[in-house]
């Protein structure tokens, strides 16, 4: 009888809090971006439309997983940076 070897996948999971660099009012244009990502598994605790987020207040949480810890850190940084950048670009 042959035994099958099971390969167990080990993942690192991480969560990062995104904080506001400046005061942000989620007008219609900014909220469109939030609506586009609201069903993503990478984000939670997203703000609502017309919400005012003061400087240094948390905006949302970012969640990731990876097989390597360094890649996990890089993913969290990259996603956080893109999120903040997209909110700032919609400033006009």
Q: Which tokens go with 49?
A: 């439309």
pTM value is 0.81
Full set of structural domains in the chain with CATH? 12-89 (3.90.1170)
pLDDT by residue, tens only, the chain of 92 residues: 677 777 788 999 999 999 999 999 999 989 999 999 999 999 999 999 999 999 999 999 999 999 999 999 999 999 999 999 998 876 55
- The dihedral through the CA atoms of 77, 78, 79, 85 has a sign that is positive
* Strand ordering across the sheet containing 12-19: 12-19, 58-66, 43-44
C-alpha distances in Å from residue 43, one per residue of 4, 9, 18, 33 = 38, 23, 10, 12
Which of 6, 30, 11, 14 minimizes the C-alpha distance to 84?
A: 30
pLDDT in the model for residue 49: 92
Radius of gyration of the chain from Cα atoms? 17
pLDDT in the model for residue 87: 87
Q: Which tokens go with 42?
A: 């990478």
pLDDT in the model for residue 51: 94
Q: Which tokens go with 5?
A: 């070897």
């Amino acid at each position: 009888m042959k035994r099958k070897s099971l390969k167990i996948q080990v993942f690192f999971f991480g969560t990062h809090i995104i904080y506001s660099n400046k005061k942000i009012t989620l007008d219609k244009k900014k909220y469109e971006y939030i609506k586009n990502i609201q069903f993503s598994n990478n984000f939670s605790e997203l703000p609502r439309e017309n919400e005012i987020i003061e400087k240094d207040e948390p905006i949302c949480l970012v969640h990731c997983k990876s097989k390597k810890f360094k890649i996990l850190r890089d993913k969290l940084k990259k996603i956080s940076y893109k999120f903040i950048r997209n909110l700032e670009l919609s400033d006009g």
